[in-house]
Structure 1
Amino acid sequence: MKIAFFLTLVILVVELIGSYISHSLALLSDAGHVLTDIAAIGLSWYAMKQAMKPPNEAMTYGYHRSGILAAFINALSLIVIALVIGWEAYKRLQSPEPVSSTWMFISAGVGLVMNLYLGLGLSKEENINVKSAVLHMLGDAAASAGVIIGGIIIATTGWYAVDPILSFLIAVLIAFGAWKILKQTIGILMEGTPSGISIPDIVQAIRSIKGVYDVHDLHAWSITSGKNALSCHVVLDGSMSIRQSQSIIREIEHNLIHLGISHATIQTEDDGHPHKDAILCCDQEPEHHHE
């Protein structure tokens, strides 16, 4: 990530100089995208270092969510950039201006090679924070390729309107990728059920264990990408010893690991505990009787 940060800074300088000399809005749009790359990579780099910090009394889950927050900010920044590029492209389309295709080739070529090198090198990472940064890089590589194609069209046909058209397409590409990351991060921050986790399958896996009468008040969420957690109440025989109940809990935890849940908090109860029977329940409170 450190190498990616400084190489992307080089791309930004090259494309800013190239856009100034060539007067290309598409290249300037790509430079704007590269600027968000630098912010994205910087945030991801910082978040990765933060996530390594151990839990403490203030942050009992540790700092894993710092990566999710970084990905969320990155996605929002990309959407804003896409809107700005789209608006500028619309204005330029009204009155296309001459563009130097030679500098478009040079600057976009540098961006294409470096972004492909960085993006493909990090593409196998599963961390959503790193994936959001990789999305920036690969999106910018695609944008650079588009600018090169645009330069070829301008050089052969003199059709300058292709420059703002490319800018608009780059904006759509940026916004589409950002929206996917934004939905993922919002789902995690809202404690939504993780992708690939089936609540019915979890309920079935718990109920299938001998000694478990029922399960309710079940919640599944992601602490961070790839680190899923669950809490639930299970109804056991009230006469069961603590040792016997621990054996059942270990079996439940074993089943949950195979379903993608790595951290589970399980509360045991007997059938006399007052509760609602719903599997999903947010307002469960013991019933109070008033005379």
Structure 2
Amino acid sequence: MGHHQHHNASGRNIRTAFFLNLGFTAVEFIGGIVTNSTAILADAVHDLGDSVALGQAWYFERLSGEKGNRRYTYGYRRFSILGAILSTAVLLGSSLFVIVEALPRIFDPQPVHAEGMAVLAVFGIAVNGLAMSRLSKDSGMNARTVALHLLEDVLGWAAVLVTAIVLLFADIPVLDPILALGITVYILTGVVRNLMKLVPVLLQAAPEEIDIEALEEEILNMEHVRSAHHAHLWSMDGRQAVFSVHLDVDKPLSPAEYRSVKEAMRDLVEKYGIHHSTVEIEFPEEPCRNSEDGPCS
């Protein structure tokens, strides 16, 4: 029940961020044209991409809570990873667009309406800051990717506000594209870091927070267990870990001994925070079902 409530809260937070972002994007495009500001238009493009990302993130977050079926036996939780990757792709594309638009302005600066920029910047920081605060406590990778989008917008609008204030007192229009490029480069760095977290989950790498060597050592110290093989540890969605292992026991076990081994494994995986585990217990001389070489021992 606790996880279900967390999932619902995450979906509601992403939905709120989506509608806030989508509504303000239209205002940004109009404001960017009126003020002739590359930075505002750049933020409008980013917010448009973010709106798309938030919309599909909301969809995938809802879908990821569905139960398993004959087609997707684990459920739809890993769909949130797909949503996070698509969001990252949109963020990369919109950032590259900003770079293409801002570079010519550095060599050919254009006058901008500083007062209008300042007003839009204040609203932009407020709207995106509110949306980001709704997601700040979510732990899922999808929510973290969406929060990165919103952080980009907050920083982008902060850059617009700083530029506007400076331009109110000095005629330096080149600051507009320079600051836009600086924020975009910073965000791209964050995108790369986020991709470095997403890719291992996609490739089913063992979660860094779980010491698989220590886990295997404790398994080997269990009564009746003489070896362990085909041990696999991976994360379903960046939050919930999955573990499977084959245990080679020292003798044919009685029903009580068999239950004892299973209960010891259950306690062990709970200790390491593993959400789902599968254990295969193999008696001496019993062929390993995952091996082509006959007995595992």
| TM-score normalised by structure 2 residue count | 0.90
**In the alignment, structure 1 residue 285 sits paired with structure 2 residue 291:** yes
Q: 2:112 aligns with which of 87, 90, 99?
A: 99
Per-residue CA shift, 1:5-55, capped at 9, x if unaligned?
A: 221112211211111011111111111111122112111110121122211
SS at match of 2:225: coil
On the 8 A contact 2:50/2:90 being kept in 1, the answer is no
Q: Which moved more, 1:178-187 or 1:148-157?
A: 178-187
User: 1:119: Cα distance to partner?
Assistant: 0.5
Q: 2:228 aligns to what?
A: 215
Deviation at 1:274, TM superposition (A): 5.8
Structure 1 stretches lacking a partner, 5+ long: 276-283
2:156 alignment partner, SS class: helix
2:10 alignment partner in structure 1: none
Select 2:270's aligned residue among 257, 269, 277: 257
3-state SS of paired residue (2:236): strand
Match of 1:143 in 2: 156
Which residue matches 1:165? 178
Does the aligned pair in 1 maintain the 2:64–2:75 contact within 8 Å? yes
Segments of 5+ residues of structure 2 without an aligned counterpart are: 1-13
Q: Percent sequence identity over matched residues?
A: 30
Aligned pairs for 1:57-136 (under 5 A) are 57-136=70-149
Aligned to 2:8: none
1-structure distance, mates of 2:101, 2:117:
18
Cα shift readout 1:163-218 (whole Å, capped 9, x = no counterpart): 11111112112212222222222111111111311111111121121221111111
Q: In the alignment, what sits opposite 1:231?
A: 244
Q: Report the Cα distance in structure 2 between the residues aligned to 1:101 and 1:244, rounded to whole angstroms.
A: 77
The structural deviation recorded for 1:121 is 2.1
Question: In 2, distance between residues paired with 1:14 and 1:173?
Answer: 25
The letter of the residue matching 1:76 is A
What pairs up with 1:173-184 in 2 under 5 angstroms? 173-184=186-197
Tell me, in whole angstroms, the C-alpha distance in 2 between the residues paired with 1:38 and 1:18.
18
> What does the per-residue CA deviation read over 1:80-115, in whole Å, with 9 as the maximum and x for residues that have no partner?
221221222222211111111111111121110011
The correspondence for 1:205, drawn from 214, 218, 223, is: 218
Which AA in structure 2 matches 1:286? E
Q: 2:165 aligns with which of 146, 152, 157?
A: 152
Residue identity in the other structure for 2:254: S
What CA distance in whole angstroms lies between the structure 2 residues aligned with 1:273 and 1:26?
68
Confirm or deny: 8 A CA contact 1:71 1:181 kept in the other structure: no
Give the conservation status (yes or no) of the 8 Å contact 2:17–2:134. no
Q: Give the total of aligned pairs.
A: 282
Tell me the amino acid that sits aligned with residue 291 of structure 2. Answer: E
* Cα distance in structure 2, aligned partners of 1:163 and 1:189: 38
Whether the aligned pair in 1 keeps the contact of 2:207 and 2:233 (CA below 8 Å) is yes
Q: Is the aligned partner of 1:37 residue 2:47?
A: no
Aligned to 2:38: 25
Structure 2 partner of 1:245: 258
Q: Which residue of 2 aligns with 1:280?
A: none
Q: What is the DSSP-based 3-state SS (H/G/I as helix, E as strand, rest coil) of the residue aligned with 2:274?
A: coil
Seen in structure 2, the aligned counterparts of structure 1 residues 159 and 239 have a Cα distance that, compared at 3 Å, is same
Asked whether the 8 Å contact 1:79–1:179 carries over to 2, the reply is no
1:68 Cα deviation from its structure 2 partner: 0.8
Distance 2:246 2:181 in 1: 52
One-letter amino acid of the structure 2 residue matched with residue 134 of structure 1:
A
Query: SS at the partner of 1:13?
Result: helix
Task: Give me the whole-angstrom Cα distance separating, in 2, the residues matched to 1:39 and 1:174.
Answer: 18
Residue number in structure 1 paired with 2:203: 190
